[in-house]
A = this chain, B = another copy of it.
């Protein structure tokens, strides 16, 4: 299996997700929730569907995730028009987003410390080509 890119990709991704999940634990967020929080933070007032499109999450799966973030007091929804909601972070949400950004930076630093600069750039380029 060592020369199978697909398999190595899967194993590396699984390892990273486990690392990220552990690092995010103090935030109380799961990886997907953390990603959504940061996307909303960077795009205040965005629509739910747009966030899903950006992260590759189907509309049907966005619903319970957003509902939980709202319930936790991190995200607020304002009626944009009759069928869409504008999402933004609450004060609590913004504070947590800053914390999550730090945790995620630590995670990325841990990954990147295993590779030299050239390998990192090459890896990012290759992954982008494989992404879809």
Contacts and interface: CB of A to CB of B under 8 A. Distances in A.
A23 to B, nearest CB: 10
A3 B20 CA distance: 16
A30 interface: no
Contacts of A123: 5, 122-123, 126-127
Interface in A93-132: 104, 107-108, 111-112, 114-115, 119-120, 122-132
B10 A17 contact: yes
A119 to B, nearest CB: 5
Contact of A11 (B10, B31, B120, B132): B132
A120 B5 CA distance: 8
A113 to B, nearest CB: 10
A60 interface: no
A108 B35 CA distance: 29
Q: Which of A3, A130, A132 has the most CB of B within 10 A?
A: A130
Contact of A122 (B8, B20, B35, B119): B119
